[in-house]
Amino acid sequence: MTHLSDMMNKDYLIEKLKLFFGFDNFKGDQKSIIKNLMDGDDLFVLMPTGGGKSLCYQLPSLLMEGTAIVISPLIALMKNQVDVVNGLTEQDGVAHFMNSSLNKAAVAQVVKDVHSGKTKLLYVAPESLNKLDNLDFFVSFKISFYAIDEAHCISEWGHDFRPEYRNIRPTIEKIATLRNERRAPIIALTATATDKVRMDIKKSLGILNAKDFKSSFNRPNLYYEVRQKNSEEDADSQIIRFLKQCEGKSGIIYCLSRKKVEELSKKLQINGFRAAPYHAGLDTEVRTQTQDDFLREDIDVIVATIAFGMGIDKPDVRFVIHYDIPKSLEGYYQETGRAGRDGGEGRCIAFYSPKDLKKLEKFTDNKGEAEKEIGRQLLEETKAYAETSVCRRKFLLHYFGEEYTKDNCANCDNCTHPQKSIDAQDALLVVLRAIKAVKQHFDQAYIIDFVRGRATDNIVRHEHDELAEFGSGMEINEREPSIWNPVIRQAMIAHYIYKDVENYGFLTLTPEGLGYIKKPKPFHVVLDRQFDETEDASGGNSSALDDKLYKLLRGLRKAVARKHNLPPYVIFQDISITLMATTYPVTMDELLQIQGVGQGKAKKFGKEFIDLIKRYCEENDIQRTDMMRVISLPNKSQKKLKIIELIDKRIPLDEIAADQGYEFDELLDEIESIVNSGMKVNISYYVDDDGVVDPDEIADIYEYFRKSETDDIDEAIDEADIYDDEDGLTAEQKARLVLIKFLSEEGN
């Protein structure tokens, strides 16, 4: 091993850095990390994507005796990094990878190059390292050190848990024992890990005494934004409009399912974009070709599954879009970190709908209780990030244990369009006293129920409804019912409250929190963004929404609704009104391009709206740009026609779902889309005649939607007092079915 004591020239590492990588100086902690690794220390490196993690093990591997083993989870990442390292020198075979993609001849070449001493860096998947058949090979050569890349995969709290990572330590120890020598040093690297994850990784690898290097998580060049996702069609249109503004720029769009990856990439292609799908279901050759095309800029956009990951080291990715809200902030942060790695522009846009969280929750249904609880807490943090109105950078950095002192970063949607804050001193006092009263032994949802005076079964069981503090926030709740979540979240950022993630997310008081009870002072919070009503379809805060026209259109909608004795949302949904006030449609053809406006609604209600818009444009000298036409996938329309045909034949909806390859909730999404466009769909045969919903429940839900100003499903469930059936439909499914029935019968 090459020790630093042998390097009397203090510029030795700088010299080698320049020789191999062409850089004049190290970035951040890189030099210290390399020095410690070369001196034989175990290290834990927490460094954001784009911070230069790979150099921390690539450079020392070239300088040290033996071959470094890099354990990496992705074949794509291995290939990419091997290509990079082999490009650093004139000699072939300096870096290799060993995984399931190699044939026998390729494996033989790897073995030959390693034994000759030519290979300084060997990338392996954890499965390859742990494979018993490979043990003799790993024992047969000197290992300079082990680098565990994407080390968060080790942790059950990590966003991409992989069981094989748990077996790394026993395998490494076995290799050292068989070689009859001290274990080679270990460097664990990750771009994202909370303190809980960090300790879990170190414990699993047996490096509790490892030196920690933690770089700042702040990426000032990244712009963070969360957009309302009203429907898939809405999100598709927003993405296409966004891409039109980013012509020729590289970007990644993450989707939750392979099906959506395929569908969206096809839609982008027919709308003229150079896009390709990328997921684990594709052949290795196809994925490799797609990756190479992206790196060579033969394609601009890759649509990929979140679960599979990318592993592409491309410095000039200009945007990362999350079509679905991710399962954890760890995953979200790492995926957004692929943007702007060269320090240039990087736009990170996530689409969010509360319905997405329910889908993600279902993924944990078949898991153990502990894993389910972990998943629930991670989702809660994601929800908090999506809905918060505070600086997104501040929120993210706080989550990863880093303080961001500025209140406005000027580079996220909440900071570029800040909301007005309110003084929540009284609400904070109520919360802090409540946490103290229940002995700091309950989570956020429990505390909110407690201060609101909701005698839930859990609260009654603990006899907390008898405490003096129970219901102490009822008066505040009447004035501002949405205040509690933002108060608690922002009190955490202000260090008045600590969430114990290792203990079911229980809320505890910090010394500052206890001090605040004794000596309160003004505490300003901004309320959460509301995602149950539609914002601007082009992204809310970054829109060209004409507020004046928007108000006029809402007024007209209200008048038309009154004339037809219907709730306003039955005439046109908020998304449609918003788009009208953004794109100014003045002909029937243009109106039909608006999300949620089909032939039926256009004919029935459209004329008054386009007349108003036309008049408004003339009076205000509005220079309209041509409306961009978004081309839809033909098979999508054909599927909808097939659904309508099967409903006309009175086929039960659960049978239609099975026949067409949908989950039941996905089928309801499609039927809602059909009905929202103004088409009449009669599902009474299923809802009423087949008796899938109790007649009294139908009447109660129907009456709610008739009188309500909103089509909010959760509110309908609460108001109509609807519950899940033991072996049948959920309360949400029942409410959605009745809403479809109502919209069809009353509005279309």
DSSP string, 112-132: HHHHTT---EEEE-HHHHH-G
Q: What is the mean pLDDT of residues 82-110?
A: 84
Question: 380-413 pLDDT, tens per residue?
Answer: 888 889 889 899 999 999 888 888 888 899 999 9
Question: 619-666 pLDDT, tens per residue?
Answer: 888 877 655 666 666 656 677 888 888 888 899 898 998 888 888 988
Both structure tokens of 584: 């100014």
Both structure tokens of 387: 């809905």
Going by pLDDT thresholds of 50, 70 and 90, the confidence category of residue 113 is very high
Q: What is the mean pLDDT of residues 32-37?
A: 94
Identify residue 327 by its one-letter amino acid code. Answer: K
- Looking at 87-121, list the stretches that DSSP marks H as alpha helix, in order from N- to C-terminal side: 104-115
Identify residue 53 by its one-letter amino acid code. Answer: K
Return residue ranges of the chain for CATH 1.10.10.1390: 634-747
Residue 534 reports pLDDT greater than 50 = no
399: closest CA among 423, 428, 377?
377
Q: Which CATH number fits domain 421-526: 3.30.930.10, 1.10.40.60, 1.10.3720.10, 1.10.10.10?
A: 1.10.10.10
Both structure tokens of 410: 């000027």
What is the reported pLDDT for 636?
Answer: 60
Going by pLDDT thresholds of 50, 70 and 90, the confidence category of residue 727 is confident
Spatial separation of the C-alpha atoms in residues 388 and 570, rounded to whole Å: 29
The CATH superfamily label for domain 634-747 reads ATP-dependent DNA helicase RecQ (1.10.10.1390)
Spatial separation of the C-alpha atoms in residues 489 and 484, rounded to whole Å: 9
CATH fold for the domain made of 10-214: Rossmann fold (3.40.50)
Return residue ranges of the chain for CATH 3.40.50.300: 10-214, 222-385+396-402
Residue 567 reports pLDDT greater than 50 = yes
Query: What are 121's strand-pairing partners?
Result: 68, 95
What is the reported pLDDT for 145?
Answer: 97
Q: What is the mean pLDDT of residues 79-102?
A: 81
Lowest mean pLDDT among 132-136, 366-370, 554-558, 611-615: 366-370
Angle between helices 392-399 and 369-387 (to 10 degrees): 150
What is the reported pLDDT for 165?
Answer: 80
Lowest mean pLDDT among 71-80, 337-346, 690-699: 71-80
Q: Rounded to two decimals, what is the model's pTM?
A: 0.65
Strands (E), 447-503: 497-500
Spatial separation of the C-alpha atoms in residues 302 and 293, rounded to whole Å: 10
Class level of CATH domain 547-620: mainly alpha
What is the reported pLDDT for 238?
Answer: 86
Q: What is the mean pLDDT of residues 153-177?
A: 78
Q: CA-CA distances (angstroms) from residue 702 to 249, 426, 596, 681, 688? A: 48, 39, 21, 16, 12
| Cβ within 8 Å of residue 22, ≥6 positions away | none
Task: Specify the length of the chain in residues.
Answer: 748
What is the reported pLDDT for 235?
Answer: 86
Spatial separation of the C-alpha atoms in residues 125 and 129, rounded to whole Å: 6
Q: What is the mean pLDDT of residues 221-233?
A: 87
Q: What is the largest CA-CA distance in the chain?
A: 89
Under 8 Å between Cβ of 311 and 74: yes
Class level of CATH domain 222-385+396-402: alpha beta
Spatial separation of the C-alpha atoms in residues 269 and 382, rounded to whole Å: 31
Specify the DSSP element, H or E, that contains 96.
strand 95-98
Q: What is the mean pLDDT of residues 80-95?
A: 81
Q: What is the mean pLDDT of residues 30-42?
A: 94
Tell me the backbone φ, ψ of residue 544, rounded to 5 degrees: -110, 35
Under 8 Å between Cβ of 435 and 497: yes
Residue 8 reports pLDDT greater than 50 = no
Return residue ranges of the chain for CATH 1.10.10.10: 421-526
What is the reported pLDDT for 541?
Answer: 38
Return residue ranges of the chain for CATH 1.10.150.80: 547-620
